């Protein structure tokens, strides 16, 4: 079963190296914990939630960091080569790191947690034929599969922790299920004609599919794509014609194009406000509620709901937003 979660975008000898890497015995940290390096904050949170006290997790990409364009630093390389295992997202999210992971897989356990999600639940990347939209964390029901993959991976690496990993995963999956239920309930309070989410880039398509919202991104799925003048003018026309009054900035993407929409609509006599800052490709600050997966999505859902005219508690599902 675990084999499907070991898939990566590697081929030939690189793929063989990845599989052989999983057979390497981990050299546990001095405190006896499994030393793990994860790429994004979301992947790090999934591994930490499941691993609990048996795992020490370091995230390479902190708040405000864009994984689409991220390149490894010398300190990143040192951290990954010194870790027992490296966990990454996959689905071409960390595009600039894939060659490095191909090489590292010959020496380390290197696992792409999102690669094993069911293909029939993945959305296509309209910019790159044959690839999928990687932003699966925007749908809690899909993210559950990533947590399950983390559980299975950690169990294979550290069989003695199997019971701990299973219990931790079960508890976290229950939290994610509650988050999904809350999200569906509050987002449904937004008037039907106001269920339009305009953001800096197309990171919210899974959100739109899960909760029946129309999603418009100024840039494409990858922030490497550029928003042309014609595209911005077209979106300004949509805002004006449909009377859309709120759009959103993202914590890991420049607000330049979003502000261009606000100014363009204003020049045509239509007022558009910033409905809030959403977490798209990165979570909030470490140690905060928004610095966890649950808090990140709670923040987004609550912010979107309230900005678009729906009803949601000011401090979110767990009364913790802003902590």
* Per-residue pLDDT tens over the stretch 92-138: 999 999 999 999 999 999 999 999 999 999 999 877 778 999 999 99
* Nearest Cα to Cα of residue 9 among 126, 145, 114, 150: 114
Domain count across the chain: 2
pLDDT of residue 3: 34
* Nearest Cα to Cα of residue 231 among 252, 200, 266: 200
What is the mean predicted confidence (pLDDT) over 27-31? Answer: 55
> Do 105 and 142 have their domain in common?
yes
pLDDT at 31 over 80: no
What is the mean predicted confidence (pLDDT) over 189-200? Answer: 93
> Do 159 and 219 have their domain in common?
no
- 318 in any annotated domain: no
CA 98/CA 111 separation, integer angstroms: 12
pLDDT at 30 over 80: no
> Do 55 and 167 have their domain in common?
yes
> Do 161 and 206 have their domain in common?
no
**Residues 250/199, Cβ–Cβ less than 8 Å:** yes
- 99 in any annotated domain: yes
**What's the whole-number average pLDDT of the chain?**
87
pLDDT of residue 226: 52
pLDDT at 247 over 60: yes
51-74 burial, b for 16+ CB within 10 Å, e for fewer?
Answer: bbebbbbebbbbbebbbbebebee
> Do 197 and 136 have their domain in common?
no
The contacts of residue 248 (CB under 8 Å, 6+ apart) are 197, 198, 199, 200, 258, 274, 275, 276, 277, 278, 303, 304, 307
- 320 in any annotated domain: no
Question: Which 8-state DSSP code applies to residue 116?
Answer: G
CA 83/CA 107 separation, integer angstroms: 11
| Residue whose structure tokens are 């007022």 | 271
pLDDT tens digits for range 51-88 = 999 999 999 999 989 898 899 999 999 999 999 999 99
Strands 196-201 and 214-219: parallel
Is the pLDDT higher at 23 or at 80? 80
> Do 141 and 208 have their domain in common?
no
Helices 41-51 and 140-157 cross at an angle (nearest 10°) of 60
> Do 167 and 240 have their domain in common?
no
pLDDT of residue 21: 43
pLDDT band at 220 (very low <50, low <70, confident <90, very high): low
Range of the domain at 277: 189-307
Lowest mean pLDDT among 7-11, 49-53, 238-242, 254-258: 7-11
Lowest mean pLDDT among 5-19, 27-41, 130-144, 267-281: 5-19
> Do 131 and 213 have their domain in common?
no
pLDDT of residue 2: 33
Lowest mean pLDDT among 65-74, 123-132, 174-183, 214-223: 214-223
pLDDT band at 1 (very low <50, low <70, confident <90, very high): very low
CATH number of the domain residue 21 falls in: 3.40.50.1980
> Do 93 and 10 have their domain in common?
yes
> Do 216 and 104 have their domain in common?
no
- 312 in any annotated domain: no
pLDDT band at 223 (very low <50, low <70, confident <90, very high): very low
- 256 in any annotated domain: yes
> Do 166 and 209 have their domain in common?
no
pLDDT of residue 317: 97
- 316 in any annotated domain: no
H/E run at residue 55 = strand 55-59
Return contacts of 320-323, CB within 8 angstroms, 24+ apart. Answer: 320/289, 320/295, 321/289, 321/290, 321/295, 322/289, 323/288, 323/289
**Highest mean pLDDT of the ranges 220-224, 262-266, 309-313:** 309-313
Domain-ending residue, one of 127, 153, 183: 183
What is the mean predicted confidence (pLDDT) over 142-154? Answer: 98
- 314 in any annotated domain: no
Q: Where are the alpha helices (DSSP H) in the chain?
A: 13-21, 41-51, 74-82, 98-104, 140-157, 162-187, 205-211, 229-242, 256-267, 293-307
**Residues 17/105, Cβ–Cβ less than 8 Å:** yes
Query: Rounded to two decimals, what is the model's pTM?
Result: 0.87
- 315 in any annotated domain: no
Domain-ending residue, one of 183, 215, 245: 183
> Do 118 and 202 have their domain in common?
no
């Amino acid at each position: 079963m675990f084999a499907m979660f070991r898939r990566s975008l590697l081929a030939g000898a690189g793929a063989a190296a990845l599989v052989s890497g999983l057979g390497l015995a981990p050299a546990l940290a001095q405190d006896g914990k499994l030393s793990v390096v994860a790429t994004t904050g979301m992947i790090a949170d999934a591994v930490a939630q499941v691993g609990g006290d048996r795992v020490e997790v370091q995230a390479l990409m902190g708040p405000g960091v864009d994984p689409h364009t991220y390149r490894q630093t010398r300190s990143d390389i040192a951290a990954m080569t010194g870790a027992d295992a490296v966990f990454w997202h996959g689905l071409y999210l960390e595009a600039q790191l894939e060659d490095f992971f191909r090489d590292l897989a010959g020496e380390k356990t290197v696992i792409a947690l999102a690669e094993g999600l069911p293909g029939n639940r993945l959305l296509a990347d309209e910019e790159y034929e044959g690839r999928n939209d990687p932003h699966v964390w925007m749908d809690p029901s899909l993210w559950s599969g990533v947590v399950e993959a983390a559980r299975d991976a950690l169990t294979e690496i550290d069989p003695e922790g199997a019971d701990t990993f299973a219990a931790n995963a079960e508890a976290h999956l229950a939290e994610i299920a509650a988050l999904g239920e809350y999200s569906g309930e509050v987002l449904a309070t937004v008037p039907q004609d106001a269920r339009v989410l305009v953001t800096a880039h197309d990171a919210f398509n899974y959100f739109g599919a899960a909760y029946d919202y129309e999603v418009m991104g100024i840039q494409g799925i990858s922030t490497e794509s550029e928003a042309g003048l014609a595209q911005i003018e077209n979106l300004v026309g949509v805002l004006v014609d449909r009377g859309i009054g709120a759009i959103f900035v993202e914590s890991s993407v420049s607000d330049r194009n979003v502000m261009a929409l606000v100014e363009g609509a204003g020049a045509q006599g239509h007022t558009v406000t910033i409905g809030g800052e959403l977490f798209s490709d990165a979570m909030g600050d470490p140690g905060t509620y928004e610095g966890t997966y649950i808090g990140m999505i709670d923040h987004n859902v609550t912010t979107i709901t309230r900005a678009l005219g729906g009803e949601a508690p000011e401090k979110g599902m767990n009364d913790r937003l802003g902590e």
